[in-house]
Copies of this chain bind each other. A is one copy, B any other.
Amino acid sequence: MKAEIINVGTELLLGETVNTNATFLAKELKLIGISVYHMSTIGDNQQRLKELLTSAFERSEIIITTGGLGPTKDDLTKETVAATLGVDMIFNDGELEKLKKIFKHREKDLNEGNLRQAYFPDGAKIINNNNGTASGCIIENGKNIIIVLPGPPREITPMVKETIIPYLEKFSDQKFVSKVINVCGIGESIMEERVMPLIKAQENPTLAPYFKETGLILRAMASAKDELTAKKMLAPFVKEVEKLLGDNIYAYGEDLTMESVVGRYLMENNLTISTAESCTGGLLSGALINIDGISKVFKTGFTTYTNESKTEFLGVEKALLDKYAAVSKQVAEAMAIGAAKVANTDIALSTTGIAGPTGGTKEKPVGLVYVGLYVKGKTYVKKLNLMGDRQKIRTRAVREALDFLRRTLNVPKYDFDEQA
């Protein structure tokens, strides 16, 4: 089935708010095999919205709108959908009761605008909104399925996952399953090159590469008449990808960070850890501490930004700093040893480097970072040459440091989907 997404809201046209609703909806639809061919953003203007809806009803089977369901006079999406379809707006008693309850709880009175929220196009099936006053609705007119949703992402997320997707899934005789393969240590083009035979050869399952904020991913997807069959098709296909990418795969599962993988391993194996940071300035410990339960193994983090603080708190010898300077293999190693010793941990991870934009030299350019690692008496050092601005160099250094720890400890490729 062909779907179309229409995001209504003048604020989106003003360029201060990024349209994450369109992305979210497109992805959810893709995961049940529905293709989106058009996405449009339009202001709170009845005439332009009507023109757009008219085209959409012609060219797409499923039309999903977001926004324009609020209590103000600008909010006209439901009314415009009804007008375009040529149906009346009908008052819904149940909705009024819901609104009364919400406003009683808020100790406020319902105004005229709120009463308008209780009207829906004739024949619409109401979709409950547990996070706001604007309910959504579904209208089937024989030719089109029109789904009308509110604007705030936190309101539509549960509505889509709990109601819209199960509703739309019924129209398909195929079930889709997917697996996100999280990749690190190689660039996008090398990753693509290596898995190209699988991208090209396969119709089902499919494999597609994406570049995300958290890093590179591959999404493998299979479809079949039932979920179990699709899963059985997907498993060997994912194994094929694993053969091609090896340890550059760090885990399986949606929206995974490197720290969640490393943190899980540390907690499962009761390995205590401390950090000693210079150029990453606390971001490495900040990443580790983002994992719930990490207090079991994370003890102490040091941000030693000056040479003096490296000596005073980590016991890095002044002579070593004088001889090799702070950004060096030797100091990275000494920082890790020092942190493990003073914090009394099994493992210590250190960073020292030049984040820029100033401070680089020909020998030690901006982006040069040394990662030091101490694991139960043994030490390891990795040299990185990172690209980007100050913020990016620091974020990448954190990720690379955690990846260095992962590879050194031989952390298994967890499948986080299997936890649930």
Contacts and interface: CB of A to CB of B under 8 A. Distances in A.
Contact residues on A (Cβ < 8 Å of other chain), bracket: 35 or more
Contacts of A391: 290
A36 interface: yes
Contact of A305 (B29, B42, B299, B357): B299
Q: Secondary structure of the A side of the interface?
A: mixed
A155 interface: no
Interface in A312-339: 312-313
A12 B26 CA distance: 8
A404 interface: no
Given A24-B15, A26-B14, A282 B289 contact: yes
A288 interface: yes
B289 A303 contact: yes
Nearest to A11: B210
A206 to B, nearest CB: 11
Contacts of A394: 286, 289-290
Contacts of A41: 22, 38-40
- The winner among A26, A210, A282, A288 for most chain B CB atoms within 10 A is A282
Interface in A24-66: 24-30, 35-43, 45, 48, 55
Interface stretch (A74-82, A141-149, A223-231, A273-281): A273-281
Contacts of A284: 282
Report, nearest first, the 7 A-B pairs whose CB atoms are least far apart.
A281-B289, A15-B27, A301-B303, A15-B26, A282-B282, A282-B285, A282-B286
Interface of A: 11-20, 22-30, 35-43, 45, 48, 55, 208, 210-212, 219, 275, 277, 280-286, 288-290, 292-295, 298-306, 308-309, 312-313, 342-343, 356-358, 390-391, 394
